[in-house]
C-alpha cells in the first residue's frame, strides 16, 4: 500500500464532497468557519477534530443543511456533493438530508417503538411496503451491530434501550434510509468503552458502503478511527492529511501541540 497523499492530490480515490473557500458567520457576530477547503474521499472515515468551538459541528451541520434553521448571518463558498452545489437555490433539501444521514452527540430516539424509529424516515419518504420496511429494519440493525440485541423486541419503546443501544439505534435509523454519507457528531461522547468499541467497529465495516464523516469526542478516538483527519482550530482548518501521517508526523506545530496534549 502506498502512503495516501493528502487530498486534493489523492488520485485514484473518488471525491464525495468538495468544500471550497467555505466561510460561515452566525448572527451574533461570531465567525465559526473561515475559508475552509477540504475534500472528503468516498468510502473512508474522515475525522474532523480539534478543541471545542472550532467549527467542526457547524461544518457538519452545513453538510446536510441542518444549519438552515440556525441564525446564520453570512455564508460564502461552495460545498459540492457528487459535483452538485448543495446550496443551489434549486437544490432539494429534503432529498439531500435523505442522502446525508446524521447521528448526534446525545442519542435522540423518537418517542415511539424501536420499529417505528427505524421506519420513520422511510415512511416520511413515502415508503409503506411492509417487505421493504422489514428488509430495511433487519439490514440497518445488522449494520449498526444491534440486531442480536433487539431483534426479538422490536415493538418495545425505543426509550427503554440503554444509552449505547439508543445511539446504535440512531445510527441504524439513518442507515435505514440508505444514505450516501453519514455524519456523526461525537456519537460516543456519552457511551461506555464497550459500546464505543461497538460503534467504532461498525464504522470500519460501514465505510465499505458509505462515506463517513466523524467528529470524534477525543484525540485518541480520532487517531483510532481516521483514514483522513482534519484539524480545526477556532474556525480554521490547520492541517488535513491521511490519518496515519497526521497523527504520527504532523506538519504544523499547532497540530503537534494539540495531539500531544500541550493544549486543548
Partner 1 sequence: MEKNLSLGEFIITRLVKASGYSAIVFVTLIFYFLLREGLPTLGEVELENLLSTRWYPIESYFGILPLISGSLIVTIGAALIAVPFGLGTAIFIAEIAPRWAREILKPLVELLGGLPSVVLGFLGILVLSPNLRILLNLPTGLTAFTGSLLLGAIAVPTVVSIAEDALDSVPRSYRDAALALGATRWQTIWRVTLPAARSGVLTAIMLGVGRAIGETMTVMMVTGNAPVLATSLSALFSPVRTMTATIAAEMGEVASGSIHYHTLFFIGMVLFIISLAVNITASSVVFRQKKRAERVLS
Give me the residues that bind partner 1 (CB under 8 A), please.
64, 66, 69, 71, 94-95, 97-98, 101-102, 104, 106, 108, 110-111, 120-121, 124-125, 157, 159-160, 170, 173-174, 177
Q: Which is nearer to partner 1, 13 or 115 (CB)?
A: 115
Q: What angle do CA 171, 216, 4 make, to 5 degrees?
A: 100
Q: Which is nearer to partner 1, 166 or 221 (CB)?
A: 166
Per DSSP bridges, beta strands 15-26 and 100-103 are unpaired
7-22: buried (b, 16+ CB within 10 Å) or exposed (e) per residue?
beebeeeebbbbbeeb
Q: Which is nearer to partner 1, 174 or 255 (CB)?
A: 174
Q: How far is the CB of 236 from partner 1 (least distance, A)?
A: 26
Q: How far is the CB of 5 from partner 1 (least distance, A)?
A: 33
Cα–Cα distance measured from residue 104 to residue 184, given in angstroms and rounded to the nearest whole number:
6
- Contacts of residue 52, defined as CB under 8 A and 6 or more positions apart, other chains included, come to none
Q: How far is the CB of 94 from partner 1 (least distance, A)?
A: 5
Q: Which is nearer to partner 1, 126 or 261 (CB)?
A: 126
Cα–Cα distance measured from residue 164 to residue 235, given in angstroms and rounded to the nearest whole number:
31
Return the C-alpha cell found at 102.
446524521
Eight-state DSSP code of residue 3: P
Q: Which is nearer to partner 1, 15 or 105 (CB)?
A: 105
Q: How far is the CB of 166 from partner 1 (least distance, A)?
A: 11
Q: How far is the CB of 239 from partner 1 (least distance, A)?
A: 29
Strand boundaries in 42-196, DSSP class E: 45-49, 72-81, 84-85, 100-103, 181-185
Q: Which is nearer to partner 1, 7 or 102 (CB)?
A: 102
Nearest to 25 by CA among 92, 93, 84, 72: 72
Q: How far is the CB of 84 from partner 1 (least distance, A)?
A: 17
Cα–Cα distance measured from residue 165 to residue 157, given in angstroms and rounded to the nearest whole number:
12
Amino acid at each position: 500500500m502506498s502512503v495516501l497523499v493528502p487530498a486534493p492530490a489523492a488520485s485514484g480515490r473518488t471525491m464525495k464532497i468538495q468544500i471550497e473557500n467555505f466561510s460561515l458567520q452566525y448572527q451574533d457576530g461570531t465567525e465559526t468557519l473561515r475559508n475552509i477547503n477540504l475534500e472528503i474521499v468516498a468510502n473512508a472515515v474522515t475525522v474532523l477534530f480539534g478543541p471545542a468551538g472550532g467549527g467542526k459541528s457547524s461544518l457538519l451541520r452545513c453538510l446536510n443543511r441542518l444549519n438552515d434553521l440556525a441564525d446564520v448571518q453570512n455564508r460564502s463558498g461552495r460545498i459540492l456533493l457528487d459535483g452538485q452545489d448543495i446550496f443551489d437555490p434549486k437544490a432539494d433539501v429534503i432529498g439531500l438530508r435523505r442522502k446525508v444521514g446524521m447521528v448526534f452527540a446525545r442519542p435522540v430516539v423518537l418517542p415511539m417503538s424501536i420499529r417505528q424509529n427505524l421506519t420513520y424516515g422511510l415512511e416520511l419518504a413515502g415508503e409503506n411496503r411492509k417487505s421493504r420496511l422489514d428488509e430495511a429494519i433487519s439490514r440497518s440493525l445488522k449494520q449498526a451491530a444491534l440486531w442480536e440485541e433487539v431483534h426479538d423486541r422490536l415493538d418495545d419503546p425505543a426509550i427503554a434501550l440503554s444509552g449505547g443501544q439508543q445511539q446504535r439505534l440512531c445510527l441504524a435509523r439513518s442507515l435505514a434510509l440508505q444514505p450516501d454519507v453519514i455524519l456523526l457528531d461525537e456519537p460516543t461522547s456519552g457511551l461506555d468503552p464497550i459500546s464505543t468499541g461497538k460503534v467504532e467497529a461498525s464504522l470500519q465495516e460501514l465505510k465499505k458502503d458509505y462515506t463517513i464523516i466523524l467528529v470524534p469526542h477525543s484525540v485518541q478516538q480520532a487517531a483510532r478511527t481516521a483514514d483522513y483527519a482534519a484539524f480545526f482550530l477556532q474556525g480554521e482548518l490547520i492541517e488535513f492529511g491521511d490519518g496515519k501521517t497526521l497523527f504520527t508526523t504532523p506538519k504544523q506545530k499547532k497540530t503537534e501541540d494539540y495531539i500531544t496534549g500541550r493544549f486543548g
